[in-house]
Amino acid sequence: MRYLSLHNVPINTALLLWIGFMVAGCGGEQADADNSPLLAFGRSAVEAKPPLTAEESLAEQFALYSDSVTWTTEYGEVRSGQSLSHILSPFGVSNATLHHIATEHRDLFDVRRMRQGRDWWLFRSAKDSTARQFVYGIDDREYVVFGLTGEKTARRGRYPSETRRGYVQGEVRGSLYQSLEDAGHTTTLAYAMSGVYAWTIDFSRIQPGDQFRIIYERDWVNEKPAGLPRIVASEFLHRGRNFPAFAFDQGEGLDYFDETGASLRKAFLKAPVSFSRISSRFNKRRFHPVLKKVKAHLGTDYAAPRGTEIVAVGDGVVTKASYTKGNGKYVKIRHNGTYTTQYLHMSRRNVKEGQAVRQGDVIGYVGSTGLATGPHVCFRFWKNGKQVDHLREDFPPSTPIKAEAEASFEEACRVLLAEMAQQETDDGPRLAALDQ
Ligand SMILES: [Zn+2]
């Protein structure tokens, strides 16, 4: 069964066999097999070791290597209002030592930032009960060790972590968040997905019937998931069109690409009209030529002859095609969860509310309706609901897969698609049927 035809790289049975074992069921997270084509995500193996006492294994966990000391350990959680001295003074730790930790090691970890509910461990010598090492669990991944005797050194460390791979497929009912929860997967995947597709799919507009399947990775520390899941590969069927995404690093950090090797991040056009000149820049204190007073100009004006085509600077959906006394005839486009643009003073609009537009589509024509002294388009740009100067924005780059990385990218895609086909369950929705 084929899901997606990568240009000239059909999936074959031999490859499927090569991929290896199949995991039954609608995938939970499983230990990472060695078939990961993804280069960037590190993992560490946990080796089998001879049995240790509880104290020994705890000491080992925090890399407290000492042949000569037999430990006894205390464990607790930081309680409300508890400071380091509240915890350590009862064990005979001197004020001088507490002061040393608080001041000498402040850059490494400021003990005033110890938080209620976090774990701590105290290691004492079994022979004379001297408190030797104090460990504070900073978060799920990291801890800090303070030496309480001798040199009183301190260091930060990380718990061993293991990367597990998960697979989920489903159909959107209500929201993606809800669908993931129903499928028994972490809802933080919805957040990760909206990041991957921020430039392609407006997740506030996904609809019942949209389908998805996702291979993801997550770090596990101390038998608990830590941090956010990372999307390794996904397909999202939105309004009848499949949007694949593959994580790949071509030497510039991890990015997401579609099956043709195009970056999922799309650059906006620099201006909504070609052959124009900027007649007024974004300026929070501008003297308004019509109103004759200082008024913030939260847009960029492009002067152009009446009737010049105005184009959408990016893909999106028209949320307004309307008229006001100030704006004249105008159009507003929502591009994704982050960006919205608006185009004012049109002589004529060319789109309707609710209409989907692609980058470069003609949405209207230059005019001087509303408060305008001459024909121009006032271009306005919102980022996260706030009007910004788009000329000063740093947009993420959208480099496609380079020629030299093409072969390895195609191989990675092929393996990932095969993995998805392997994981696919019979009771789930069929992206394939809609993808021919
Ligand atoms: Zn303007």
CB 92 within 8 A of CB 148: no
pLDDT at 432 over 90: no
For residue 304, how far is its CA from the centre of ligand 1 (angstroms)?
Answer: 13
Reading the block at residue 171, the tokens are 């159909």
Given pLDDT bands bounded at 50, 70 and 90, which one contains residue 213?
A: very high
Mean pLDDT over 19-47 rounds to: 37
Percent of the chain beyond pLDDT 70? 84
Reading the block at residue 158, the tokens are 């990380």
For residue 64, how far is its CA from the centre of ligand 1 (angstroms)?
Answer: 65
Predicted pLDDT at 18: 29
For residue 279, how far is its CA from the centre of ligand 1 (angstroms)?
Answer: 9
Nearest to 247 by CA among 306, 303, 193: 193
Predicted pLDDT at 33: 38
Given pLDDT bands bounded at 50, 70 and 90, which one contains residue 271?
A: confident
Q: Range(s) for CATH 3.10.450.350 in the chain? A: 13-42+162-265+411-434, 54-158
pLDDT at 260 over 60: yes
DSSP characters over 142-167: EEEEEE-STT--EEEEE--EEEEEEE
Rounded Cα distance, 403 and 128, in Å: 67
Q: Range(s) for CATH 2.70.70.10 in the chain? A: 277-392
The model's pTM: 0.61
Nearest to 272 by CA among 364, 202, 347: 364
pLDDT at 345 over 90: yes
Does the domain at 54-158 match CATH 3.10.450.350? Answer given as: yes
Hey, CA dihedral for 393, 396, 398, 403, is it positive or negative? positive
Predicted pLDDT at 293: 78
Mean pLDDT over 215-221 rounds to: 93
For residue 332, how far is its CA from the centre of ligand 1 (angstroms)?
Answer: 14
Nearest to 266 by CA among 351, 175, 176, 202: 202
φ/ψ (deg, to 5) at 181: -65, -45
pLDDT at 137 over 90: yes
pLDDT digits (tens, 9 = 90+) for 310-340: 999 998 899 999 999 999 999 999 998 889 9
For residue 377, how far is its CA from the centre of ligand 1 (angstroms)?
Answer: 7
pLDDT digits (tens, 9 = 90+) for 347-388: 999 999 999 998 889 999 999 999 998 999 999 999 999 999
Predicted pLDDT at 5: 34
pLDDT digits (tens, 9 = 90+) for 70-88: 889 999 999 999 999 999 9
Tokens 């070791």 belong to residue: 49
| Comparison of pLDDT for 292 and 208, the residue scoring more | 208
For residue 317, how far is its CA from the centre of ligand 1 (angstroms)?
Answer: 22
Percent of the chain beyond pLDDT 90? 50
Rounded Cα distance, 310 and 364, in Å: 5
DSSP characters over 358-402: -TT-EEEEEB--SS-SSSEEEEEEEETTEE--GGG--PPP-PPPP
113-127, 281-295, 355-369: segment of lowest average pLDDT: 281-295
pLDDT at 21 over 70: no
For residue 299, how far is its CA from the centre of ligand 1 (angstroms)?
Answer: 5
Domain 277-392: CATH superfamily is Glucose Permease (Domain IIA) (2.70.70.10)
Predicted pLDDT at 266: 78
Strand-pair partners of 395: none
Reading the block at residue 180, the tokens are 């993931």
For residue 283, how far is its CA from the centre of ligand 1 (angstroms)?
Answer: 10
Predicted pLDDT at 50: 59
pLDDT at 16 over 50: no
Average pLDDT for the chain = 83
pLDDT digits (tens, 9 = 90+) for 159-209: 889 999 999 988 888 788 888 888 788 888 988 888 888 777 777 677 888
Predicted pLDDT at 427: 55
CATH topology of domain 13-42+162-265+411-434: Nuclear Transport Factor 2; Chain: A, (3.10.450)
Ion ligand 1 residues within 5 Å by Cβ:
299, 301, 378
For residue 341, how far is its CA from the centre of ligand 1 (angstroms)?
Answer: 13
pLDDT digits (tens, 9 = 90+) for 37-81: 333 333 344 555 557 778 888 888 888 877 678 889 999 999 999
